[in-house]
A and B are shown apart, each in its own frame.
Chain A
Amino acid sequence: EIVLTQSPGTLSLSPGERATLSCRASQSVASNYLAWYQQKPGQTPRLLIYAASTRATGITDRFSGSGSGTDFTLTISRLEPEDFAVYYCQQYTSSPHTFGQGTKVEIK
């Protein structure tokens, strides 16, 4: 089983700042089959990034993904009020399709 560890647990930033979220895998994620999701309180998760760096349909270019192997990053270039949420990474290269524990981006 591939274990995903996200850091930090909570990120306190102000609107307009840059957010950098990390997702580290316990073993290499083949083909960079790693996704990022955003979840706001009371809402369903929304796919942001797949294949480590490809934005999903309709996702603003303020969101970007990078990385390969065991280290992946989600960057939000300039935080907008609607970006404050919890972000999860997920690997889908092998079963179980594990998720990270999440990073909460909160308003400072």
Chain B
Amino acid sequence: EVQLVESGGGLVQPGRSLRLSCEASGFMFDDYAMHWVRQTPGKGLAWVSSISWDSGSIDYADSVKGRFTISRDNAKNSLYLQMNSLRPEDTALYFCAKTTAYYSAMDVWGQGTTVIVSS
């Protein structure tokens, strides 16, 4: 079964850091691009970041550029999102998702991990 499981969310103070992880199983992880998408409570979806299969292509939303870093370890079938200088507006449910290619639709999503930035 193809599966993505996020972890690492929690309650953190503004200005602090958090690292999210996404563990993949059931497919050849190093064949696929991966993405982070977030959803604010009661709101819509917002793309955060993308990384190609070989980490050669990486993009960020303007709202997180310079603060968040996406990375992957293909040997561990894992995707990461290092979030620094967190702000209250980063509070959201963070999903990881896979695509067939870098520019492709997100065909598998994880269940998400919640990040709350509050003092």
Contacts and interface: CB of A to CB of B under 8 A. Distances in A.
Q: Do A and B bind each other?
A: yes
A17 to B, nearest CB: 24
B111 interface: yes
A86 B39 CA distance: 13
Interface string B10-37: 0000000000000000000000000101
Contact of B95 (A44, A51, A88, A102): A44
Report, as a range, how many residues of chain A touch the other chain. Answer: 20 to 34
Contacts of A93: 103
Contacts of A56: 105, 107
B109 A99 contact: no
A84 interface: no
Contact of B47 (A37, A86, A96, A101): A96
Given A44-B112, A50-B104, A95 B45 contact: no
Contact of A98 (B47, B95, B104, B110): B47
A90 interface: yes
Interface residues of B, number: 21
A50 B105 contact: yes
B106 A35 contact: yes
Contacts of B45: 37, 39, 45, 88, 90, 99, 102
Q: Give 10 closest A-B pairs by Cβ, nearest first.
A: A50-B105, A35-B105, A95-B59, A97-B47, A44-B109, A99-B45, A102-B44, A101-B44, A47-B107, A92-B103
16 contacts: A37-B45, A39-B45, A44-B95, A44-B112, A45-B45, A45-B106, A47-B105, A50-B104, A57-B107, A86-B44, A88-B44, A95-B50, A96-B62, A97-B50, A99-B44, A100-B44
